[in-house]
Amino acid sequence: MRPLIGAIIVVIVAFFVVPMILGGSVNTCQALEKHDVSGAAASIAGGTSGPVYNTVNSVGQSAATGQIASTVAGANNPQTPTGVSCTYYFWKSLF
């Protein structure tokens, strides 16, 4: 029983920590916003390299505070804490 509980705890911790590590932030909503900015920059530039991508991504990353993602996640799921909603949307955007 203990290994099962330990495995469940590891999965729950990974669910919340991995987005913050991948996004390079301390908050899942900011990680989601940075991920979205990077995707938008790649879409605008037609790829993930070059001066257009670098410029758009740099400006967007510096402005990504997590406020927009937090507001959108809260509006889409008012009964769910925003941290959980942002984490869900981060994982959803990866798959």
16-71, pLDDT tens digit by residue?
A: 999 999 888 889 999 999 999 999 999 999 988 889 999 999 999 999 999 999 99
pLDDT at 95 over 90: no
Q: What are the structure tokens assigned to 24, written together?
A: 């390079």
State mean pLDDT over 71-89. Answer: 93
Distance CA 35, CA 59 (A): 13
Q: What distances in angstroms separate CA 10 from CA 13, 55, 91, one per listed residue?
A: 5, 38, 16
Q: What distances in angstroms separate CA 1 from CA 4, 12, 48, 50, one per listed residue?
A: 5, 17, 46, 52
pLDDT at 1 over 90: no
pTM: 0.84
Say what the pLDDT of residue 58 is. 92
Distance CA 78, CA 56 (A): 31
> Where do the domains of the chain lie?
30-95
Residue identified by tokens 């938008």 is 40
Residue identified by tokens 């990866």 is 94
Say what the pLDDT of residue 26 is. 87
pLDDT at 2 over 90: no
